[in-house]
Structure 1
Amino acid sequence: MEPIPEDSIVRINVGGIRFQCYRKALNTFPDSKLASIEKLATECYRNDSNEFFFDRNPLLFAFILDGYRKGLLHLPKDHCGITYKEELEFWNLSARWVAPCCWETLYKCDSDVETMKQLLISFKRTNEKMLVKEGSDDLKTRLWQFLEIPNSSKHAMVWSMFISAIILASTLMQALASLPSFQVEPSEVEKETLKRYTKWYNMPFGLTKPHPSILYADFCCHVILSIEFIVEFVVCPNRRSFMLSPVRIIVFVSYVSYWIDIMLELNLDKLANSHALNVYVVFKYMTILMLGRLFYITKQVPAFKILGLTFRSSKQELKILVFMLGVLVFGFGYTLFITELLQESEINNVFVAMYWALITLTTVGYGRYVPTSVLGHVVAGACALCGVLVLALPIGVIASAFYTFYYNHKYASKHLALAF
């Protein structure tokens, strides 16, 4: 086909809609497909209607052709950015020609796609219909679904609520055991053992122990939880992944430490040497890991899972938050130390001043360290204002990411439910 004169009108049919423009307008973007439209004549030109035909989206082409006329491409706000990118790729148009006012529409789809990918990965890890092989319906599989996936059936949901209640009851027992009203005096032999604690470790140990009813109730809770953990491990389709889970490692260690601790507790009068007492103290402190069982309850609350995804996707914002907080803590802390240097103040070193700055910046306001000089009060006021204004900026971005994950999680749940 011979070159079309610059002042001639070119007719372009896109998806059944006819567009017309001057040939010189198509030269706005020299590297695009329409800039050399004559080369497309063998494929797209129709002699009967004297026009070029392209089977593409006519609504989006209207914005693209308008970009040829204006020199900048504008995007419709009500269209998917991915679809527009596909159109730009078809017409050989670079994204650098997109107007700044439309950058958000063009690139927001990338973050949305990344968000959905992370949600789908999370669903594949937690949804039993994706973990279990297709067509598998044996007893182990059904038992695994029953124990691990609360949403697999009504009975599984009831069991999950029962286990959650047992975990909360066990945690409550641990808390009640620290109250004087739920403690009793040990035997004379156990008192002698506790006195040896005080002598060997040079620190006072309480001469009381939890009430037997508290110990028995906690014992029953741990029997149920331990059996449930063992059965989960036996029926798990992938035991290696099961035991490599950080939460399950913590729970496993906490159960082992509890059973060792309870055996030592029942035989407290037989701990006659320092090595046995060392073992008892170590496992006594390790029982704090039992708080990791509370993560079991989070399986029923999607918000906790979304919160973890939010933190993982907001690493850059968290880095900015930590960096800004560190700079402000050091700056205001050192400044306050200088202003209080000649005063009779409890802020007598830089580290105390930095602790004060951290408490003030995070708007906690807790602590006995306060400035006493007039200049110190000025620094304190500036520090409080910076904490409210500066630190709120990255937190707002993280909160926005949480809302995005939360609503996309709802959409993904509904969409994936259609596949099963």
Structure 2
Amino acid sequence: MSCMVTDTKFRVDRTPTSPPTSTPTSTNNRNQLTRTNSTTSISNVSVVRPVKEEGLDWKMKLFIDTKPLDYINYIDYVTTGFFILELFLHFLVCPQKKRFLNDNNNKMDVLLFFVTLLYWCVTVDFMRNNSYRNLFVFANVIMMLKILRMFRLTKLYTELRILLITLQKSIKELILLFVTFAIFAVLFGNLIYYSEMSESETFPDSFIGIWWSIITMTTVGYGDYVPKSSIGYFAGVITATTGVLIITMPIAVIAGKFDGYYTAYNTNKTKTKMRELQKQEHHNSVAPLYNTAIMN
């Protein structure tokens, strides 16, 4: 739902009117919004098709001037009500209320409940006020936390639970990875900046250099900023090579832990099945003798 409400195909005018007449506007003023709306009629509803033109806040105006389709809101209300009712009923029938509240999944549901209330309280009027506009954006961002409900699948899939346990047991390795990565990102960000001092069109400051070093070390390479000097090329090679080494080593350790936990799980699972088969075979071998003794 969070993705659908951002798509213009799933939004309609708040106050449907006839298509606006075009008026000449100045293209020199970047603060003016020269966006025009083309509308099409779908089931007597005016659906907005905004054109991305100049103007820094055309996305904000999209949320102010339009609203999601009604059925999207209905689905949101029904699903949210279902989860709230489920949480309330679980709390009522749970014999140990304290243990229920200490469960991480239940804590997540309680958090999402208050997040949903905040989202419903923050209306579009907040966007019309520049002072509260960030609150509206924040409310929409935290609504994406609903996806965290997917972690309930850990109760159904043991493999996913093993993955979470592996990450929990690998906190030290992950911290080491992020700290080392941050240090080298700052180092190579400044290195590429000073390497490109002779080039006026690339890397205007060290912060852009840090952005470039992060993208290069993760082997993403957007290509928005690239070195143009020989020294810059050499710095790029060193940055990419170092990034691969930094990321590979902790990931290998984490993967080894996951393999160990998963192997132990499969071993215990196999032993449990073998015990059950032995019990079944023993029962099948003893049952005929017992029946014969009774008949005699």
TM-score bin, normalised by smaller chain: 0.5 to 0.7
Seq. identity, %: 25
How big is the shift at 1:400?
0.9
SS in 1 for 2:238: helix
1:24-63 alignment, distance < 5 Å? none
1:260-299 alignment, distance < 5 Å? 261-262=119-120, 281=136, 283-299=139-155
User: Partner residue of 2:10?
Assistant: 182
Q: Specify which of 388, 410, 413 is matched with residue 266 of structure 2.
A: 410
**Which 5+ residue runs of structure 1 have no aligned equivalent?**
1-172, 189-201
User: Partner residue of 2:67?
Assistant: 209
1:217, 1:327 → 2: CA distance?
A: 46
CA gap of 1:372–1:284, structure 2 versus 1, over 3 A, is closer
User: Partner residue of 2:168?
Assistant: 312
Quick check: 1:242–1:248 contact (8 Å CA) kept in 2?
Answer: yes
User: Partner residue of 1:348?
Assistant: 204
Q: What is the letter of the counterpart of residue 3 of structure 2?
A: A
SS in 1 for 2:79: helix
**Which 5+ residue runs of structure 2 have no aligned equivalent?**
17-55, 277-296
The higher-RCO structure (CA 8 Å, 6+ apart) is: 2
SS in 2 for 1:365: coil
How big is the shift at 1:177?
2.8
1:382, 1:264 → 2: CA distance?
A: 48
Q: What is the letter of the counterpart of residue 358 of structure 1?
A: I
User: Partner residue of 1:66?
Assistant: none
Quick check: 1:361–1:388 contact (8 Å CA) kept in 2?
Answer: yes
How big is the shift at 1:260?
5.6
1:374, 1:293 → 2: CA distance?
A: 50
CA gap of 1:210–1:360, structure 2 versus 1, over 3 A, is same
SS in 1 for 2:61: coil
Quick check: 1:247–1:292 contact (8 Å CA) kept in 2?
Answer: no
CA gap of 1:264–1:243, structure 2 versus 1, over 3 A, is same
Count of residue pairs the alignment pairs up:
228
Q: What is the letter of the counterpart of residue 388 of structure 1?
A: V
CA gap of 1:213–1:326, structure 2 versus 1, over 3 A, is closer
How big is the shift at 1:404?
0.8
1:29-178 alignment, distance < 5 Å? 173-178=1-6
Using the size of structure 1 for normalisation, the TM-score is: 0.47
How big is the shift at 1:415?
5.2
CA gap of 1:213–1:244, structure 2 versus 1, over 3 A, is same
User: Partner residue of 2:76?
Assistant: 218
1:278, 1:369 → 2: CA distance?
A: 32
Aligned CA-pair RMSD: 3.3
How big is the shift at 1:374?
1.0
Q: Specify which of 178, 188, 202 is matched with residue 332 of structure 1.
A: 188
How big is the shift at 1:346?
2.6
Q: Specify which of 203, 228, 231 is matched with residue 89 of structure 2.
A: 231
